[in-house]
Every structure is written in C-alpha cells, then in structure tokens.
A and B are shown apart, each in its own frame.
Chain A
Amino acid sequence: MEIFKIVGIGLIATVLSVVLKNQKPEISLQISVVTGLVIFIMIISKLASVVELLNMVARKIDMDLMYLTTILKIVGIAYIAEFGAQVCRDAGEGAIASKIELSGKILIMVLAIPILIALLNIILQLMP
C-alpha cells in the first residue's frame, strides 16, 4: 500500500519539522524540501506507468501521435515546473518560484506556437 508509506513519511517529516522549527528553522526547512523530493520520487514511477499506458492506448486506436506527444510534453513540463516552484516556495523563495513558473510557461508556449501557426494556416486556406 503505497499511500500508507507516503502519508507516514509525510506525517513523520511534519512532526520533525514542527519540533525543530523553534530551535533550528534552517534544518526544518531542509527536512520539508527533502520530504517533498522523496514523495515526488515515490509517486513519479506510478505517474510514468500511467503515461505509458495512455501512450499505448493511443497507439492502439491509431490516433495521430503528434498531438499526443505534444500534450504529454506539455503536461510533463507543467508538472516539473510546478514541483520545482513548490519546493522553492516552501523554502520561502517566492521570487525564484515565480521565475521557474515563468520559464515553464515559456517552454509550453514554444511547444504551442507551431500548433497555433498551423491552425492559422489552415484557417487561411479554408477561406480562398
């Protein structure tokens, strides 16, 4: 049962962090960052299997793979940027977190712009 492990780790880390907060705030900060990383690593293998399954289904039903890879790439960028930003925000660095989010948004836009331009081209060609 994965969820027990994760909740257990989370609760223990929370108690430790709260106990240490008054004496050594910097250590409690490190505990929270490391706990976040551990939970993320534990869950990311499950996420990978889900994504793999979606990929397999898409291949089976013969959907255009281009759309799927684009969507999955965007979701991956969103996930990783979100995670990094949250870790930074936990550490009290809101400015760095917003920079990470900004770069994630820019990378998503880079993936989105070709689709946008293709759509524009199609619409222009539909109207002769």
Chain B
Amino acid sequence: MFDFLKDWIKNIVILIIFITMLELLLPNSSMKKYVNMVVGLLLIIVILNPLVLIVNKNIDIENEVFKTSVEIDKNAVVLTHSNLEKTQENQMIQVYKRKIEQHIKERVLHNNPVDVKNVYMEIDEDQTSDNFGNIQNLKIELSPNVEKKSDNENLQPVSQILVDIKSNKENDTEHEQIDEQIVNQIREDMAEFYSINSKNVVINVKQ
C-alpha cells in the first residue's frame, strides 16, 4: 500500500516538473493553449490511474490510447485508399477511350480512302449503370487522303505555280465530293459496329 502511494506521488510530481520545463521551452504563441490542454489531460490520467486500478483491474490506459490512435490511422488510410481507387478508375476509362479511338481510326482508314484527324467521344462513365462503357457521342474529323495529294504535287513541275493552285483546288473539291459520299457509309458503319444511335455520330470533313 505504501509503495503504491509512493509510486503515485512520484509520478505526479515528476510529470508536473516536466510540464513546467516544457512550458519554458515552448514558443509563446497560440499553440500554447493546445499544448496546455493535452498536458492537462495527461495529468488527469496520471492522477486518476490508481483510482481506476482500485475499481477495475482490467483496464489498461495505454491500450485504450493505442486503440483510438490506431482507429484514427485506419480512417486516414481508408480515405487515401478511396482516392487511389478513384484515380485508378479514371486511368482505366482513359485507357479504354484511347483504345477505342485507335480502333475507330484503324477501322475508318482500312475501309475508306480518307485520313482521320481526330476522334472525340463521350462514354458512359457511371460504373453502376448497365450501359457502362457504351459510347454516347462520337465525333470524327476527316481530311482528304494525304498520300494522293502529295502524289499530285510531286507530279506537277514547280515552275507552273498558277496552274498548280488551280489543279489543287480541283483536286480538293473532288476529294470533298468523295468524302461526302463516304461520310454516310462511315457513319452507318460506326453506328452499327459500336451500336450507337446514328444521330449521335458526327463526322466533319476538314480541308
């Protein structure tokens, strides 16, 4: 009993001396309030400690503190984890879009004598819906086939500049006409293959 009292008083006295030392060390600022609060809590715990032991021997204060701090850490980890999941989903959708873009480009290039400049699309990004991953809107920008143009340019001599421009213009209009015919074909092909409403497939021809 006497030892127990001695330990208790010793703990309290040492803690108080410690606290006064630390208050000297502390910068005098608004932080002091918070530090004082925590230190006061610790002092209360040290004072209450033997009373708790008398009433209930099973309780372990350190254990309690540890439990709650683990809980806080766990919550923090869960938060960062959900952020990670979100970024992962975004990356997945981006990769998916890029693959579809490539596929569309290849398909159009393979079937038609045109160049694909850009492919824009909107897909259903809601993972819970049944249509997740379906293409909602598709916009394709086409340009006349570059290879033919360059062939034409190579054929014509450099000296005849005026004629050159005219012939180029004629060629361009020809290509445009061809594209106008092809556009419908591409649109139907895309609408059928990706099961999109053909109203949502927009195809532009760029010069």
Contact A117 B68 (CB under 8 A): yes
Count of B interface residues, CB-CB < 8 Å: 40
Residues of B within 8 A of A71 (CB): 18-19, 22, 38-39, 42
Contact A117 B64 (CB under 8 A): yes
Residues of A within 8 A of B65 (CB): 66, 114-115, 117-118
Q: A54-B21, A71-B22 are in contact. Are A63 and B14 (CB under 8 A)?
A: yes
Query: For the complex, would chain B's binding face be called helix, strand, loop or mixed by DSSP majority?
Result: helix
Complex interface bits, B18-62 against A, C-beta within 8 A gives 1, otherwise 0: 110110011101111011011101101110100110011001011
Judge if B90 is at the interface, Cβ distance under 8 Å: no
Complex interface bits, A111-128 against B, C-beta within 8 A gives 1, otherwise 0: 111111111011101101
Contact A112 B37 (CB under 8 A): yes
Residues of B within 8 A of A110 (CB): 72
Number of A-B contacts (CB under 8 A): 116
Q: A71-B42, A75-B35, A112-B37 are in contact. Are A122 and B27 (CB under 8 A)?
A: no
Judge if A3 is at the interface, Cβ distance under 8 Å: no
CB of B67 to closest CB in A, whole Å: 8
Query: For the complex, would chain A's binding face be called helix, strand, loop or mixed by DSSP majority?
Result: helix
Judge if B134 is at the interface, Cβ distance under 8 Å: no
Contact B35 A115 (CB under 8 A): no
Judge if A109 is at the interface, Cβ distance under 8 Å: yes
CA A84 to CA B203, docked complex, whole Å = 57
Q: Which 7 A-B pairs have the closest CB atoms?
A: A114-B68, A118-B64, A78-B31, A114-B69, A82-B27, A112-B38, A114-B65
Residues of B within 8 A of A128 (CB): 55
CA A104 to CA B33, docked complex, whole Å = 12
